[in-house]
Structure 1
Amino acid sequence: MLTASSGRGARSAVFAGVVALVLAGCSTNEDSRVAPPTEASTSGLDVSPTLDRESGAIVFPGDRFDVTNAEAVLLAAASGYVVKDCINDHGISFSPPVDAWDPLYDVSSYFGVWTVPVAERFGFVSPMTSADMRANDVMVDGEPVPESSEPPAAWRSNDLGSEEAQAVIAACSSADGAARFDQLALTAGPWQADLDSAFDAARQTQEWDDAVDEYRGCLSDKGIAPDPDDELAVVGQDLYAIDAEQISLALEVVGCKDDVMLVDRLAGLVSAFQAPVIDEYATDLVAYRASVDAVVAEARALLADHGVSL
């Protein structure tokens, strides 16, 4: 199982895991097929996906209202500095580590490797930092990733193990100020389950099957064996190795996805099923995003007061 050495990207990893299960090669029952919604959106909101072929990120309609990964890191940092100030006020020296979000973790893995820049750099390995490659035993040209010569993130504290210190930490961590920036407090509404179910619904369409069949046909034409158990994978791909052979194979896979516009079509289907949810909850979603923006602005201002920029 892939792990993040810094604890980042947990939510994205879980979501990608759910999608991977959906994408696994179980056959679709003919009788269970559904048609994607065709009604025009009535909310005036953007219900199309955004596919960034340079960065490898995919943004679905519902994502535009959610807390982004970078914002989640910023909120966690702000909460840490609220706790820091409280702990310092009790005479305990403590400074929290600050770890900015790395855009590598915004690269979409919903449909496997799908852009040339990512394939050329990582092959089939999920994009990650060198530190996380080491943590996940990724091999580069047959060798483990060497230890970094960079110093660890600067942070310092006195001995926080005493009962007195632990009591202070517990009290400060539960203070209202810290809770203000708790991402879990920004609970999404009843729309979230419906937005997430769009992936499963999209996969039950004839349009999805047609796109995947064309993609797998392209692979076969190139002499590449499609994975019998995963409809978007190929035989021979390695999620833990980066070398010339893996990169070459990944580029061929990306070529087939581009040739049949696979990712555009699949992302479009998912977005089509999210569109009615966006329309139904448009007012609530806009209000929710406004509340997120307000808290993020507060967090950014607090960090700026401490000389921190994320």
Structure 2
Amino acid sequence: MKKVLIALSVVFCVTACGQSSNASTSDAPVEAAELDATVGEVVLPFDRFAMTSWEEDVLMSATGATINVCAADKAVETKTVLPTDKRVHDEIYASEHYFGPWTEAQANRWGFVPPMTDADLFYNGIEGGPQNAPEAMFLSEEHNYTPEDEEVIGECRDSSSWVDLSASLTSESPWLTDYPIFEETWKEHEEAVRIIGELSQCLTDNNLVPLKETPWLPTGSQSNLIDEEQIDMAVTVVDCKKSLDFTQRIANVEASLQQPLVEKYSREMQEHRSAIDEMMPQAEKLIAEHPEVFFERNPKFGQ
């Protein structure tokens, strides 16, 4: 379940750019978490009803388009960003740490740094990341808006039904309000304590010293540094997790904790997921119909 907020590498003043795992409309009882070790994705019960990072990106771009089309009708030219290439969402933003890195690919590429693009590494100031600013994702240009232009843009934003839809679909849901962060409350659950204890012992057996409050991580691990030492430690952590089937087992514990809330909020979750499913084709159609209000993609951009 994603809890990492990654800073945007490109920021535009006209619209705000907006994470979660693959969603499904199924309301069948969920007994186990689903892991995708190729991507590095952990899918918990809540995630099946949540908006994915790709869907949120599409929604933000469509919302920006409605504002810009409205402004253009009033002789004010504005542009916003297209959704980030879906490949980036599928290959990087879908990947997540879960009690630290849990796949070899994560450990070898990022160490203990949460998965992110090279641009995100640079703009977040990650030591060991790119030394120079990567190519921008979009071919943007500066706009100097007059106060009158800003007023028009504000009026268009206020009148856009998509702004309200975006706020509705991205606001914190009641089932999340009721749910504590598992990595902060694991000590309250006997099975989680046992599983994490096994991992802690494995780290100790491999000459690593588990941290007291987060014993799934070794002393010296850093979330803002990538180097050979960090990668070696991360690989050892992942090897321990694989030998214990740690990630599946601990994710199953969290899935069991989420399940009562899935049952409690079943109707609201289904309605939320249905609203997302209904929004997506409309948003994609809107984006396709108005290429003139978007910045062009930079062909030199990489991950």
Seen in structure 2, the aligned counterparts of structure 1 residues 201 and 252 have a Cα distance that, compared at 3 Å, is: closer
**Counterpart position of 1:20:** none
Seen in structure 2, the aligned counterparts of structure 1 residues 99 and 284 have a Cα distance that, compared at 3 Å, is: closer
Question: For the aligned residues, what is the CA RMSD?
Answer: 2.9
Local SS of the residue matching 1:235: coil
Measure the CA separation in 2 of the matches of 1:214 and 1:236: 20
User: CA contact under 8 A between 2:114 and 2:223: conserved in structure 1?
Assistant: yes
Seen in structure 2, the aligned counterparts of structure 1 residues 120 and 306 have a Cα distance that, compared at 3 Å, is: same
User: CA contact under 8 A between 2:102 and 2:241: conserved in structure 1?
Assistant: yes
Measure the CA separation in 2 of the matches of 1:61 and 1:208: 18
User: CA contact under 8 A between 1:93 and 1:157: conserved in structure 2?
Assistant: no
Matched, 1:227 2:211: yes
Seen in structure 2, the aligned counterparts of structure 1 residues 96 and 204 have a Cα distance that, compared at 3 Å, is: same
**Counterpart position of 1:22:** none
Matched, 1:215 2:199: yes
Opposite residue 301 of structure 1, the aligned amino acid is: K
What is the TM-score when the length of structure 2 is the normalising length?
A: 0.80
**Counterpart position of 1:278:** 262
Give the length in aligned residue pairs.
276
**Counterpart position of 1:127:** 115
**Counterpart position of 1:4:** 7
**Counterpart position of 1:64:** 48
**Counterpart position of 1:287:** 271
Local SS of the residue matching 2:178: helix
User: CA contact under 8 A between 2:96 and 2:115: conserved in structure 1?
Assistant: no
Matched, 1:109 2:92: no
User: CA contact under 8 A between 2:67 and 2:160: conserved in structure 1?
Assistant: no
Matched, 1:153 2:141: no
Unmatched segments (≥5 aa) in structure 1: 14-42
Seen in structure 2, the aligned counterparts of structure 1 residues 290 and 193 have a Cα distance that, compared at 3 Å, is: same
Alignment partner of 1:50 out of 34, 37, 48: 34
Residues 113-262 of structure 1 mapped to structure 2, 5 A cutoff: 113-140=101-128, 145-148=130-133, 150-151=135-136, 153-156=138-141, 158-160=143-145, 162-185=146-169, 187=171, 189-196=173-180, 203-262=187-246
Seen in structure 2, the aligned counterparts of structure 1 residues 66 and 233 have a Cα distance that, compared at 3 Å, is: same
Seen in structure 2, the aligned counterparts of structure 1 residues 59 and 53 have a Cα distance that, compared at 3 Å, is: same
Tell me by how many angstroms 1:122 deviates.
0.9
Q: Does 103-112 or 205-214 show the bigger shift?
A: 103-112
**Counterpart position of 1:28:** none
Seen in structure 2, the aligned counterparts of structure 1 residues 4 and 149 have a Cα distance that, compared at 3 Å, is: closer
Measure the CA separation in 1 of the matches of 2:182 and 2:226: 33
Q: Which has the larger radius of gyration?
A: 1
Measure the CA separation in 1 of the matches of 2:169 and 2:113: 33
Local SS of the residue matching 1:241: coil
User: CA contact under 8 A between 2:19 and 2:51: conserved in structure 1?
Assistant: no
Q: Does 52-61 or 179-188 show the bigger shift?
A: 179-188
Measure the CA separation in 2 of the matches of 1:46 and 1:125: 30
Tell me by how many angstroms 1:56 deviates.
0.9
Tell me by how many angstroms 1:5 deviates.
3.4
What is the TM-score when the length of structure 1 is the normalising length?
A: 0.79
Residues 28-39 of structure 1 mapped to structure 2, 5 A cutoff: none
Local SS of the residue matching 1:239: coil
**Counterpart position of 2:59:** 75
Measure the CA separation in 1 of the matches of 2:208 and 2:103: 18
Local SS of the residue matching 1:51: strand
Seen in structure 2, the aligned counterparts of structure 1 residues 51 and 226 have a Cα distance that, compared at 3 Å, is: same
User: CA contact under 8 A between 1:215 and 1:262: conserved in structure 2?
Assistant: yes
Q: Does 195-204 or 267-276 show the bigger shift?
A: 195-204
Unmatched segments (≥5 aa) in structure 2: 12-16, 21-26, 298-303
Local SS of the residue matching 2:9: coil
- What is the percentage of aligned positions where both structures have the same residue? 26
Seen in structure 2, the aligned counterparts of structure 1 residues 228 and 45 have a Cα distance that, compared at 3 Å, is: closer
Measure the CA separation in 2 of the matches of 1:167 and 1:87: 10
Tell me by how many angstroms 1:241 deviates.
2.0
Superposed CA deviations along residues 46-66 of structure 1, whole A, max 9, x for unmatched, are 453111111111111011111
Measure the CA separation in 2 of the matches of 1:150 and 1:198: 37
Tell me by how many angstroms 1:136 deviates.
2.3
